[in-house]
């Protein structure tokens, strides 16, 4: 026993051995002003997560996907059905993320249409079992439930793993230490999810059970015959089998 009081959440000793390569955190921010409080909330959260990971001896990197500059690409992808090169690059970066911090402003009592449109062009299996912190900013505390009522179902559809704590910041929150506490709590949850390896374990053991897109953008997407499971009802039917069998 050391004299030091135990940390409220012992993220440093949780989970198995630290991953060899740096953990990739990716921020998705739909903030559009400069500077943007939506981005600021994500940055503070990412910093806290990095600090906690660093305490545990886990190196981490943070990438940022700013949706504002991609607005036209996202709209084009919606109407054409396919992302252009620039957007494709960002989607691939998101697909490679070990954890995501998703941050959006609230407009007209809902998440930014830009954020939703970006989510709409993602493959359904892009973020399966990926730990995510949900965050939103708004001009009034009356929008506080938007994160849990709109972002949480969206990420549930994507089969991502949102942390129990979501973040919301109205103007008055920026002067309150309670926001910092909530950021720490959410970051702690994210780091614990990440370090437990549960996301990877879920994706590894249950990947075939989700709906997938052949040659899609998900990091585990089937890209060639060697990745494909031929032991399915449909594949047996494709090879002259019967849909009635078994």
Partner 1 sequence: MQFGIFTVGDIAPNPVTGYTQSEAERIDNIVRVAQRADEVGLDVFALGEHHNPPFIPSSPTTLLGHISALTKRIILSTSVTLMTTNDPVKVAEDYAMLQHVAKGRLDLMVGRGNTVPVYPWFGKDIRQGVALALENYNLLHRLWREDVVNWEGKFRTPLQGFTSTPRPLDDVPPFVWHGSIRTPEIAEQAAFYGNGYFANHILAPNFHFKPLVDFYRERFEHYGHGTREQAIVGLGGQAFIANRSQDAVNTFRPYFENYPLFRGSSLDDFIARTPLSVGSPQEVIDKTLTFQEGFGDYQRQLFALDSMGLPVEMALEQVELLGTEVVPVLRKEMAARRAPGVPDAPVHATLVTAKYGDEAPRQPRPNPNRGDNLSGTSPYQDSDSEFEAHFPLAV
Dihedral (C-alpha) 123, 227, 223, 206: value to the nearest 10 degrees?
Answer: 10
- Shortest distance, position 80 Cβ to partner 1, whole Å: 5
Tell me which of 21, 211, 239, 246 binds partner 1, using CB under 8 A.
Answer: 239
CB-side neighbour CA atoms (13 Å) of 221? 17
Q: Contact between 246 and partner 1 (CB under 8 A)? A: no
Place of tokens 């999810």: 193
Residue placing its CB nearer to partner 1 in the complex, 55 or 233: 233
- Give the residue, chosen from 47, 76, 165, 196, that forms a contact with partner 1 under the rule CB under 8 A: 76
What sections of the chain are H helices per DSSP?
37-55, 71-80, 85-95, 113-120, 146, 152-157, 177-196, 198-206, 233-238
Backbone torsion region of residue 19, taken as left when φ is above 0, otherwise alpha when ψ lies between -120 and 50, otherwise beta: beta
Nearer residue to partner 1 within complex by CB, 139 or 241: 241
Binds partner 1 (CB under 8 A): choice among 35, 81, 164, 175: 81
232 CB burial (10 A radius; 0-12, 13-18, 19+): exposed
Q: How far is the CB of 95 from partner 1 (least distance, A)?
A: 15
Rounded to an integer, what distance in angstroms lies between the CA atom of residue 144 and that of residue 224? Answer: 45
Q: Closest CB to partner 1 among 20 and 239? A: 239
Least distance in angstroms from the C-beta of 124 to partner 1: 12
- Residue 208 interacts with partner 1 (CB under 8 A): yes or no: no
Give the residues lining the site for partner 1 (CB under 8 A). 75-76, 79-82, 84-85, 213-215, 222-225, 228, 230, 233-235, 237-240, 242-244
């Amino acid at each position: 026993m050391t004299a030091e009081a135990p940390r409220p959440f012992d993220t440093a000793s949780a989970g198995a051995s630290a991953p060899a390569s740096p953990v990739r955190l990716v921020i998705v921010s739909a903030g559009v002003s400069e500077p943007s409080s939506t981005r600021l909330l994500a940055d503070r959260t990412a910093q806290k997560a990095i600090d906690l990971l660093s305490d545990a001896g886990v190196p981490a990197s943070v990438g940022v996907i700013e949706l504002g500059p991609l607005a036209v690409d996202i709209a084009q992808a919606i109407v054409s059905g396919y992302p252009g090169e620039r957007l494709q690059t960002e989607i691939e970066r998101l697909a490679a993320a070990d954890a995501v911090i998703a941050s959006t402003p609230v407009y007209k009592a809902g998440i930014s249409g830009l954020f939703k449109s970006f989510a709409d062009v993602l493959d359904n299996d892009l973020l399966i079992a990926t730990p995510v912190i949900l965050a939103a900013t708004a001009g009034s505390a009356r929008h506080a439930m938007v994160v849990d009522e709109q972002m949480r179902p969206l990420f549930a559809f994507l089969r991502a793993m949102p942390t129990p704590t979501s973040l919301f910041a109205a103007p008055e929150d920026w002067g309150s230490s309670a926001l910092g506490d909530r950021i720490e709590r959410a970051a702690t949850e994210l780091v614990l999810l990440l370090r437990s390896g549960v996301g990877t374990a879920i994706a590894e053991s249950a990947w075939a059970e989700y709906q997938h897109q052949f040659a899609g953008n998900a990091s585990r997407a089937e890209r060639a015959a060697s990745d494909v499971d031929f032991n399915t009802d449909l594949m047996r039917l494709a090879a002259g089998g019967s849909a009635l069998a078994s």
